[in-house]
Amino acid sequence: MRSAPRDLLGRVTRAATVSAATAALIAAVFAALVAERVITKAEERRLLGQAAALLSELSSMSRDEAAREVGLEVRELEAVGLRIAVVEGGVLLGGDTTIASSGVGCQVADGVRRCGVAGAGRTCVVGTRELIAGRFATFGIAALVAVAIAATLGTLIGRRRARWAVEPLSNLAERVSRAESNIDLGPDDGVREVDELRHALDTAWSRLGEALATARRFSANAAHELRTPLAALSAELELIEERMPAFRAELARARSTTAKLAKLTERLLALARATDAVPIGDAVELGELATRVVRGLADDERARVAVEPGEGTIRGDEALVEALMENAIQNALRHGRGAVRVSVDEAAGQVVLGVRDEGPGVPVDEQERMFEPFVRGSGRGAGGHGLGLALIAHVARAHGGSARFRNDGSGAHLVVTFPAWAPRPPTPRAPG
């Protein structure tokens, strides 16, 4: 199962947050290493200074006096966490035996940092317990706090900056969604990637428009060229049928085939005329139009169709809307077994045309495809050319509406929605 798509703004915000948190972590680790180095050097200078001061103090004392003084110093320095040891001629005068063997300079052994200074035949060593683990624990907590703050600020600030960063792309998407047949994606935004995308869309849209225009012209020209000879052929067949009654059945079939070809031609013409958007056109009252279309049906077909009371006015091309309604009703008559109900309702700024039959219905997984040209459903009859529903959907879109099947019981329920139209009240004139 595919996960829900994530928006680009969220992706940029998360990238900014992760980047800020990563940068904060790296900076915290680097700062901890530098701080540890600085603290270590400072501690070594302190220990060396303490050792040098003690050695200077002992320099004028005899061996016994120095030993007594070291004993006093041991007790004083233990209170501040320092250990000392003084060695003369390889013999310990006093202090901690564990650090007495250390030489000149600083080193760490057994968890104790010790620094030694030599002079006047004596060596003084001062040491303190190494607390590196505690310092790194403190640094670690500080790093986590810094990462948390950076992530929070990165999310709060990054989302606003991310919205600014993707604004050109959002503007482009909005223009594309509003575009009609004559697309206008607006001027460049000065963002190279977005401008390149805009130019690519312009180019692709222009090519698509040219291809569609060529296809429509071909369809219209072909249908127009076929209309006249088909009408003449139908008239000739009717005359031959009158003169040759013995071939009436065969000629009737030929006339029926000719009529189907003529209807297919009319549909091709309607599809060619129904561009992506029609002019404002006339006010069309769909309730009256439905009654007129049903009145024009053959007697046996008219007896099966019931127009429910209702009205709704739209603005558009009346001939195209009439072709839409004829195809919707004929489709229901062809594929349904019983009555066909036609309804027109207006509510919430929309006019809804409904055509319901009592046929096998349309499977849910085929409903969208049924509005594509030359597609026939598996559950419907084999009749038709697969253009009726395509014409319905195309004309509906050209009028700013839509067509779909509604699942509400047995049979097929075709629903076509248009934007409602109402005349503007006259503007009151100022008294003059």
Q: Where are the domains of the chain?
A: 8-133, 192-271, 278-419
Average pLDDT over residues 402-425: 85
Average pLDDT over residues 246-262: 76
Portion of the chain with pLDDT greater than 90, in percent = 12
What pLDDT does residue 417 have?
Answer: 95
Type of residue numbered 158: G
Q: Which of 113, 120, 77 has its CA nearest to residue 95? A: 77
Domain 192-271 identical in fold to domain 278-419: no
**What are the distances in angstroms from CA 306 to CA 295, 357, 381?**
11, 11, 22
Model confidence at 415, pLDDT cuts 50, 70, 90, reads: very high
Q: Distance from CA of residue 411 to its chain's centroid?
A: 36
Q: Which fold has domain 192-271?
A: Helix Hairpins (1.10.287)
**Whether residue 238 has pLDDT greater than 90:** no
The chain-wide mean pLDDT, for the chain, equals 78
Model confidence at 240, pLDDT cuts 50, 70, 90, reads: confident
What's the CA angle centered on 285, arms 282 and 291, to 5 degrees? 130
Q: Which fold has domain 278-419?
A: Heat Shock Protein 90 (3.30.565)
Portion of the chain with pLDDT greater than 70, in percent = 72
CA distance 244 to 195: 71
Model confidence at 350, pLDDT cuts 50, 70, 90, reads: very high
**pLDDT single digits (tens) 283-342:** 899 999 999 999 988 888 999 999 998 999 999 888 788 889 998 999 899 888 889 999
What pLDDT does residue 382 have?
Answer: 47
**pLDDT single digits (tens) 150-163:** 777 767 776 676 66
Which segment of 164-168, 300-304, 368-372 scores lowest on mean pLDDT? 164-168
Model confidence at 85, pLDDT cuts 50, 70, 90, reads: confident
**pLDDT single digits (tens) 23-34:** 777 777 777 777
pTM above threshold 0.85:
no
- More confident of the two residues 345 and 144: 345
